[in-house]
Chains A and B, each alone.
Chain A
Amino acid sequence: MSPAVVYLLSHVLLVPLGAAAAFHPSVRDLPVAARCGLAFGSGAVFLTIEGLLTSLAGLPWSVASLAAPLLALSAVSVLVAGRRRAPAVPPLPHSGWRPATILAGAAVLLALVHLSLSLATARATSVDFLFFWGVKAARFAEAKMIHTELLAWPYFAHAVPDYPPLVPVTEAFSVLAAGEMPWRRAPIASMFWLAAALPLVYGLLRRRLDKDAAAGVTAFWGAALSTSLVHSYSGGNAEAPLLFFETVAGAALLAEEERERAPSRFLPALAMAGAVLTKVEAVPALLFLVAGTLLRDRLERRPAVFREALPLIVFPALALGSWFAFQWLSGLRVGYRGHGPFFAITFAHLGSIAKEFPRQLNAGTFGLSWILPLAFLATSRQFRAALPGLALAVGLLGFLAFDYLHDVTDPAVRIGWTLPRVSQPALSLTILGAGIVFFSGQSRRPDGRVV
């Protein structure tokens, strides 16, 4: 079997490695495909934590040594779950294939084919994959650990050594399995993250919407994000994993029922832990998502709003803390580097930002991916249910503008390089928020009640 095939197949191994999360009582109502998607993402999170611990302990990595503990954890979870007589939440009813579901499935399939073909024909590769994401993975695999000497080397500063380790660690795992980095085929793995997110988005939306509405929103989300991932050259970098984690966290929170005590927030908390282990900008995104959730919960007069939000902060804080602790214990610079001194703002950049933002937010569809959900939102006039998603979208775009204001020179070129890809979580949650409120009063929940 060629190294490229082994590399890609080893990503599928993330599903059994993260299966423990898929047996948590709070997600047992989700369809099997959605739970597999969750296990995939969780496998990457668990592998990253394990990679940090084994690197600190000086235990050299191999596929077996990394996989065995996580497989054991999964096996224990399956055994414990099997002993429970009934799931904590009844599974969602299955009502068969309907025309709208079939059409949505066709759209999702076309979206995945388009993304896969674009990645396979090197039309969507991120240059950062060649410059640092893939480099870190190849060298971590060679060193059989997180290579701290490399991260501290002054001539590796271009590779943003302070970036969190989820993508290099999971890719290094696949390099270990394949025996080498298959540079030309490796970007195809980005497709797995979208493919894993799709059933999760659908399954989570089903908690609040009926089957047709959930399928329609999922189809739109898949079409918009697959086009955007290609347009923004996100193959092989950390954008697809970040999009996965932030979307799952946002979808889980958006799908919570109104005027009820918040259900277990294990899933969004775990997803946000994955997000902060993936990229720096997940931290402000997390804060905006939590702020939007708090605001919605207060407006809906849910009980114990702050206490229920605690896991959303604690899980990601522990995850981020594990990376910072690793940096500290390894003698690396602790924390993240900024783009210049904080609040050293050049207001003259506002013109470039105002000009470039609309241009660079076209998402490969002349902006329709944004315009349509915003139009759906405007016709609904009920923003409350969408607040978690909208807070992340507006907050993240505002944060990015604030960041560009710190540039020493005109940020127009940097906006062109970065905004199309770093804005994708904002696009994702705008679509999901619009979907939730657009079908308010129209859609029937699985128990038959009108939303």
Chain B
Amino acid sequence: MVRRLAAFLGGAFLLLLFPYVRWAKLPFEQRVFVPQTPMDRTSGQYAEEWLFLRLASGSVPRGATYGVRAAHLRREMSLHMIALGLLPASRPIPASYWDQPLDEPSGERPAFLLVFRCERPPGEGYRLVQGVLGSCVYAREGPP
């Protein structure tokens, strides 16, 4: 019984060595810190997108329509998915979905455009209202 118990208990501590070694290899300041985004240590790409959308969401009033734009449609898809959560009280008007451009439904244009890295600035009818970490937030001009 004692040997069997030692096998299980020893196994438990052996398993815990793996995360401990990974943790010990980190520089001290990396071990415990306050993350800026939920993805700080899992995906740099999504962390950057999340931070932009988080900061940009302050410019979009509740109930307003918005769209996300990026130079690459794959990135536009991840921005669309993340923005749905960060702007739960606003209505999205996607310009693409799963890497396919879409016609804007009934020609409706979003009241706000969140443009990642300012790489696809909108044409006429929009004005820049906020610059966020090298990205841009535009608002549609004219009556809402």
Chain A: residues with CB nearer than 8 A to chain B? Answer: 100, 103-104, 107, 110-111, 114, 117-118, 120-125, 127, 129-132, 134-135, 138-139, 141-142, 154-156, 158-159, 181, 183-184, 186-187, 212-213, 216-217, 219-220, 222-224, 226-227, 230, 233, 236, 364-366, 368-369, 372, 376, 435, 438-439, 442-443
Contact = CB atoms under 8 A, between A and B. Distances in A.
A222 B12 contact: yes
A125 B39 contact: yes
Interface stretch (B81-89, B119-127, B133-141): B81-89
Given A104-B9, A114-B19, A156 B42 contact: no
B32 A369 contact: no
A373 to B, nearest CB: 8
- Chain B CB count within 10 A is highest, among A114, A127, A442, for A127
Contact of B40 (A107, A121, A233, A368): A121
Contacts of B88: 135, 138-139, 141-142, 181
A117 B54 CA distance: 23
Q: Which of B4, B77, B86, B97 has the most CB of A within 10 A?
A: B4
A216 B5 contact: yes
Interface of B: 1, 4-5, 7-9, 11-16, 18-20, 23, 31-33, 35-43, 46, 50, 54, 77-78, 80-82, 84-86, 88-89, 92, 94, 97-98
A233 B42 contact: yes
Given A121-B40, A181-B88, A220-B15, A103 B9 contact: yes
Nearest to A138: B88
Given A155-B80, A158-B81, A439-B4, A227 B39 contact: no
Contacts of B97: 154-155
Contact of B18 (A118, A123, A184, A364): A364
Contacts of B13: 107, 223
A43 B94 CA distance: 37
A134 B9 contact: no
Nearest to B47: A122
Chain B interface SS verdict (over half): helix
A382 B113 CA distance: 64
A217 B16 contact: no
B54 to A, nearest CB: 8
A100 B9 contact: yes
Contacts of A114: 16, 19-20, 23
Interface centre among A111, A118, A183 (most CB of B within 10 A): A183
Contacts of B35: 120-122, 184
B8 A155 contact: no
Given A130-B46, A183-B86, A212 B39 contact: no
B11 A372 contact: yes
Given A114-B19, A216-B5, A156 B84 contact: yes
Contacts of A184: 35-38
Contacts of A100: 5, 9
A397 B11 CA distance: 23
10 contacts: A103-B9, A114-B19, A123-B41, A130-B85, A131-B78, A135-B88, A155-B80, A159-B81, A364-B19, A435-B8
B50 A183 contact: yes
B12 A223 contact: yes
Nearest to B89: A142
A107 B16 contact: yes
Contacts of B78: 131
Contacts of A439: 1, 4
A127 B43 contact: yes
B78 to A, nearest CB: 8
A263 B132 CA distance: 61
Contacts of B80: 155
Nearest to B102: A155
A407 B43 CA distance: 25
Output the residue of B1, B50, B98 with the most chain A CB within 10 A: B1
B9 A125 contact: no
A127 B46 contact: yes
B16 to A, nearest CB: 5
A368 B38 contact: no
Nearest to A104: B9
A154 B98 CA distance: 11
Task: List the 3 closest A-B pairs by CB distance, nearest first.
Answer: A135-B85, A216-B8, A122-B35
B7 A130 contact: no
A373 B43 CA distance: 33
Contacts of B84: 135, 139, 156, 159
Contacts of A443: 1
A130 B79 CA distance: 10
A9 B76 CA distance: 35
A403 to B, nearest CB: 21
A131 B50 CA distance: 11
A220 B5 contact: no
A135 B38 CA distance: 13
Contacts of B9: 100, 103-104, 107, 216, 219-220
A369 B8 contact: no
A364 B22 CA distance: 10
Nearest to B86: A183
A138 B97 CA distance: 21
B85 A183 contact: yes
B121 to A, nearest CB: 23
Among B1, B8, B9, B94, the one with the most A-chain Cβ atoms within 10 Å of its Cβ is B8
Contacts of B1: 212-213, 439, 442-443
